[in-house]
Amino acid sequence: MTLAEKMRRGALWLSASQILSRVTEFAFGVVLARLLAPEDFGLLVTVQVFTGVAGFFAAGGMAQALVQKTEVTKRDLQTVFTVQLLICSLIYLLFFSISPFFAEWYGRPIYHDLLRVSTISFLLRPFLLVPRALLQREMRFKANGLLQVCGLGISGTSSILLALHHHGVWSLVLGSLVGTACLIVPTCIVARWMPRPRLSLAGLGEIGAYGIKASLNDFVDYLRAQIPNFLVSATQGPAMVGLFNKAESLNSIPLQLISGSIYAPVFRALSQLQDNLEKSKYLYLKSLTLAVTYCLPVYVALWWLAEPFMRVVYGEKWVPSAEPLRILSLSGLFWIITNQSGALIAAQNRLGKELMINIQGVFLLFVAAAWGLPHGLKGVAYGMLAVGIIYSLRIVYLANATLGSGLSDVMRALWPPLVLNGALAGILYVTDLACRWAGYSDPLLYLLTMGGLGAFTYLVLFITVPFSGLMAEAARWKQILRLSRISSDPARSRI
């Protein structure tokens, strides 16, 4: 297969597996949200703020380095596994030791055991990092996706069974550990890799240099994502952070599900083409067009559907999450663009520049979120929106400076999906007015009407209006829907 065919097939399998994973995760999440209280989720989120930080140091960016590296030897794989095992063991011992102080600081004895048990996951991570990186290098996204879905199924089922027996937050912690442990052997078998310790400083040099920069970027990016949770948890308690985290997690699903599925094959392809800036530019701009086309309509719809969605799916106790979810949905376009720009920056090894932007973004977000706290969850969400826009514009500028392209190139790539989504927003606005005039009071009926009409309208416009840059994609959908026959030109699919 050509590189373009590998990318398309990889993106399709990633999308399919991500959709199945998110549907599975979402279904289990709904059941658990009805069985557990917001405070249970808030307790776990508070722990994850700290364990998540350690997780980035544990990974060390080595998985990303294995994918980006032109050639990888067996010695490289064994060295990465050994270093990971040593680092993760030290991290677990650290959390085990500080758990009494952690519980005393928050004034909740449950954190003593919660921290010790949840961090067992660090001891399992090294056995999954290398085989998953191998599957991504080989663009075996189908196998990786199926394994991920199986892990989610095991984890979710275990959590529900424990929740039914009234184990509270322990349902979430133990279910996750069971799901991770059950994945180790099958993942190693599928990747055709067996864990063997071996330490080679010569093999660690290049991987470590790239990995440290990638890890620092991921760490700072994680800090930026967790600052609102930390501030809300410290000032307003577990219940409020549980509500805010639900809004954040739902807002991130379209980005992870759609744009994230495009990211992985694009990053691998851009890594292979890193010496050819012209082809990299074409691929980067094309990924922007497709990611915004498929992902942005979900964020447009969330502005109207957030409250009825929370009310129908999660229940009345989660309705306060709807308003921050609506506000955060306004940042969807900017995070989609940032995500694809990040793939280019990582492939071109401009991570040092990205790190400086990330650090500045953390300080900006801390100030903005702290400013918004007196206004409740709504104020924190507005602070995140403002900083997200500034951060996105800077990342896009860095990506285009790397390629020697400009804002006009980005706007040409974004114009077709922006017009499409503008039309969708107009249709939903008129439909909302009609629903209010008709006196729709049933949230389920409103949800089905707005969602169904919006999806149908967007699909019709997408496949019938000849937007430049989307004609080939629209033709593929016509073929899939048996609306027309298109002839394939092998030359047009090559990079």
More reliable by pLDDT, 302 or 275:
302
Distance CA 410, CA 206 (A): 33
Degrees, nearest 5: CA angle 8-11-273: 65
Q: What is the mean pLDDT of the chain?
A: 83
More reliable by pLDDT, 215 or 386:
386
Closest C-alpha among 127, 112, 119 to residue 94: 119
Q: Coil, strand, or helix at residue 273?
A: coil
Distance CA 339, CA 392 (A): 9
Percent of the chain whose predicted confidence (pLDDT) is above 90: 20
Question: Over 70: is that where the pLDDT of 2 sits?
Answer: no
Is 463 in contact with 474 (CB distance < 8 Å)? yes
Q: What pLDDT sits at residue 11?
A: 63
Question: Over 80: is that where the pLDDT of 103 sits?
Answer: yes
Q: What pLDDT sits at residue 492?
A: 41
Q: What pLDDT sits at residue 5?
A: 63
Distance CA 168, CA 127 (A): 29
Q: What is the token pair recorded at 490?
A: 């092998």
Q: Which residues contact 448 (CB under 8 A, 6 or more apart)?
A: none
Is 336 in contact with 296 (CB distance < 8 Å)? yes
Per-residue DSSP letter, 313 = I
Question: Over 70: is that where the pLDDT of 15 sits?
Answer: no
Distance CA 4, CA 287 (A): 12
Question: Over 60: is that where the pLDDT of 352 sits?
Answer: yes
Torsion sign, CA atoms 174, 180, 184, 189: positive
Q: What pLDDT sits at residue 493?
A: 38
Question: Over 60: is that where the pLDDT of 1 sits?
Answer: no
Is 110 in contact with 103 (CB distance < 8 Å)? yes
Question: Over 80: is that where the pLDDT of 139 sits?
Answer: no
Distance CA 261, CA 148 (A): 14
Can you tell me the mean pLDDT for 384-388? Answer: 91
Distance CA 112, CA 98 (A): 9
Q: What is the token pair recorded at 303?
A: 């502005």
Per-residue DSSP letter, 119 = T
Is 152 in contact with 28 (CB distance < 8 Å)? yes
Q: What pLDDT sits at residue 239?
A: 79
Q: Which residues contact 465 (CB under 8 A, 6 or more apart)?
A: 420
Can you tell me the mean pLDDT for 163-174? Answer: 86
Question: Over 90: is that where the pLDDT of 216 sits?
Answer: no
Is 159 in contact with 32 (CB distance < 8 Å)? yes
